[in-house]
Amino acid sequence: MQNNYRNPPMKPPRSLRSAIDEIEVSTKAARLRSVLPEIEQRLSAGARIADIVQALNENGLAITTATLKSYLYRFRKAAREQALDNPPTHPAPPPDASTDSPLPPHEHAIASVSMAQETTTTTPMLLRHINTARCLRQLRRGATLSRADLSRELGLTRATIGHAVKELIDSGLVVETSDRSEGGRPGRPGSGVRLNPQGAYAIGIDISSLTLTAVLVDLGMRIVHRISESVETHADDVDRVVEQIASLPGRLLKETVIDSTRIHGVCVSVPGLVDHSGRVVVAPFLRWRDVPLKQMLAAHKDMPWPVTICNDAVAFANAERTIAREQDAQDMLLILLTEGLGGAIVQRGQILEGAHGYAGELGHMVMGATPGAIGTQTFELLAGYERFRPFLPKDRTLADGLQWLASVGTKAHTPDLEKTFDEWANVLTTGILNLVYLLDPEKIVLGGPLSALFPRVEPKVKKLLAANLLHGFNAPPIYITRLGADGAAIGAASIVRNQLFSLPRLHHD
C-alpha cells in the first residue's frame, strides 16, 4: 500500500484509490489462500510452478511466478508461526513437500530480516526489523559483542537491543556466548552474542562455456560443499543448461543433509552482460544473447528460493570485499582471468556499476589501432587462455590444466612456451598500464583459473610497469586471490549471504 505521509489530509480521490487497491490485494490474497492446498499438492506431485501460474491466469487470477512464490512463502510462514504460538483456528496449508515437520524457528528470522530489506514504508514494525538487521550487520565480521557493546555502537536503548537480540537468537542467526563481561564492568558477568555460521546458508553457481561450479557456504563464508561438472552451452539449447543449473542446489543439500529452509537464496554468475532484471544481454563465450535466465530459473520447480543473476567479475569482487578486512576493501581493481577477461572496480568500498550496470568490462578494451582488426585486438582475446590451449592436457578441466601448467608444465622451459609467457606478460602490462592511468587503483587483485600462471610472469610485468608508468604514478601492488579458481562461484554465494546484512532503502511518494 502506498505511503501517504507527504500528502495533505482530506484528498478523497487518493483515499478512494488506496481503498480500492487494498480491496483488490485482499481479494487476490483470499482467492490464493483458498487454492493453496491444491497448489501445494500439485507442486509436491512434480508440477511446474510455471504451469500452475498459467492455469491461474487462464482462470481469471492474474499473477506472476514471483508473486505466487511470495504468497506461498509468506502463507506457509504465517501458518507455521501460528501453529507454533497458538492452536490453529482454521486448517493450515499442507506441509512443504521438502519436509514433514513444521518450519524451524530460524526461517522466521531470515524472513524477518528480509522483510526489512523489501519494505518501502516506514512503520513501527519496519523500524523493529531495521534494528534487528542493524544488530545482525554489526556482527557480520564474526566478532563477539555484548548487548552493551551493541547499544553503544548503534546508539539504541538497551531495551531495543534486547528485543532485537532475542529475535536473532530465536531465529538461529545469532548465538549467545559467555566470554564477555556486560558493559565491561568487573564482577558482573554477562553474555555476548556472535553470528551463528550455521544459522543460514547461501548457494553460488558459476557458469562458463566448459564448467558449472556450485558452492554452498554458511554465514561465516566457509565452503560447506562444492560440485563441479562439465557443461556445453549452445544458443539453441539454453533450456538444457537451465535444467542442469537448477539441479545443483538440490544435489548440494542432499549431499550435506542441510534443511532446504535454511537456504537464503541462490545466485548464478555469468561471463557476460547482465541487466537489472536478471536477463543475460550477451555472453559471447556461452553463445547466449537476450536469455531471461532469472525468469527461467525462478519458474523452475527445483528452485523454490530467491534467484539472483550477476556478472562473474562482479561476483568475484563481492567475494574479495567479503573476506577482506573492511579497511583493505575500499579501493581496488579486480581482474578475472578465465576463458576471457572480466573486471570490477571498487571505490570507497562500493562496486561501480555504471549507468546500465555494465562497468568493468575490461576485456573488451581495444588494444590495437589497426582498422578492421578491432575484433582480434581486445584485451580478453589477447590475454585470455586461448594462447595457452596448445600446452594444456586434453584430459583435464581448464582450472586443473592451468594449475598443472603453473606447477609442472612450466618446468619444461620449451621455447614456444617461453615465447608465449613473454607475449602474455607484454599484453597484461599494456592493459594494466591503461587501467592504472584511468582508475589509479590502490591495488589490483587477480582471480580466475588463469591467475595461477601470473607468478611465472610477475617479475617481468612489475619491471615493465615501473619502466613505462608516467612520472608521479606508482605501480599498484598486484595480488593473486586466495579464493582459487572458484572465486566467481564463492562470490555469487557471498552476494546472497550479504543480502541478510543489507539495510532497506526507504522510498516515499
Question: Where in the chain are the domains?
Answer: 12-103, 108-198, 200-316+492-499, 324-490
CATH superfamily of 324-490: ATPase, nucleotide binding domain (3.30.420.40)
Question: What are the cell numbers at 156?
Answer: 539504541
Q: Is 70 exceeded by the pLDDT of residue 276? A: yes
Longest dimension (CA), the chain: 84
* Beta-bridge partners for 197: none
At which residue does the C-alpha cell 582475446 appear? Answer: 381
Which residue did the predictor score with more confidence, 460 or 75? 460
Enter the pTM of the model: 0.72
Instruction: Name the residue type at position 100.
Output: D
- Cα 460 to the center of its chain, rounded Å: 36
Which residue did the predictor score with more confidence, 479 or 106? 479
Q: Which of 319, 355, 356, 354 is nearest to 334 (CA)?
A: 319
* Beta-bridge partners for 346: 332, 351
Q: What per-residue confidence (pLDDT) applies to 320?
A: 92
Using CB atoms within 10 A of its CB, is residue 16 exposed (0-12), middle (13-18) or buried (19+)? exposed
Residues 268 and 283 sit within 8 Å (Cβ to Cβ):
no
Instruction: Name the residue type at position 62.
Output: A
By mean pLDDT, which of 87-91, 121-125, 163-167, 363-367 is the weakest? Answer: 87-91
Region 184-208: what's the mean pLDDT? 80
Q: Is 90 exceeded by the pLDDT of residue 96? A: no
Region 159-185: what's the mean pLDDT? 78
Using CA atoms, how far residue 14 sits from 3, 22, 25, 486, in Å, is: 11, 12, 16, 52
Q: Which of 476, 402, 397, 401 is nearest to 435 (CA)?
A: 476
Using CB atoms within 10 A of its CB, is residue 379 exposed (0-12), middle (13-18) or buried (19+)? buried
Q: How confident is the model at residue 117 (pLDDT cuts 50, 70, 90)?
A: low
Q: What is the mean pLDDT of the chain?
A: 79
Q: What per-residue confidence (pLDDT) applies to 257?
A: 86
Q: Is 80 exceeded by the pLDDT of residue 389? A: yes
Q: Which residues fall within 8 angstroms of residue 309, CB to CB, at 6 or more apart?
A: 267, 268, 269, 270, 274, 278, 279, 280, 293, 294, 297
Whole-angstrom Cα distance, residue 359 to residue 344?
7
Whole-angstrom Cα distance, residue 302 to residue 168?
29
Whole-angstrom Cα distance, residue 367 to residue 387?
16
Domain 108-198 has CATH 3.40.710.10: no
Q: What per-residue confidence (pLDDT) applies to 325?
A: 75
Which residue did the predictor score with more confidence, 398 or 106? 398
By mean pLDDT, which of 26-35, 334-343, 412-421 is the weakest? Answer: 26-35
At which residue does the C-alpha cell 485482499 appear? Answer: 26
Give 31-97 as a 3 state SS string: HHHHHHHHHHHHHHCCCCHHHHHHHHHHCCCCCCHHHHHHHHHHHHHHHHHHHHHCCCCCCCCCCCC
- The architecture of the domain spanning 200-316+492-499 is 2-Layer Sandwich (3.30)
Residues 94 and 41 sit within 8 Å (Cβ to Cβ):
yes
* Beta-bridge partners for 201: 218, 263
Residues 449 and 405 sit within 8 Å (Cβ to Cβ):
no
By mean pLDDT, which of 134-148, 185-199, 383-397 is the weakest? Answer: 185-199
108-198 and 324-490 in the same fold: no
Q: Is 90 exceeded by the pLDDT of residue 202? A: yes
Q: What per-residue confidence (pLDDT) applies to 59?
A: 74
* Interval 211-256: pLDDT, tens: 899 999 999 999 999 999 988 877 678 999 999 999 999 999 999 9
DSSP H or E stretch at residue 128: helix 124-138
Q: Which residues fall within 8 angstroms of residue 123, CB to CB, at 6 or more apart?
A: none
Q: What per-residue confidence (pLDDT) applies to 179?
A: 63
Region 381-390: what's the mean pLDDT? 86
Q: What per-residue confidence (pLDDT) applies to 415?
A: 79
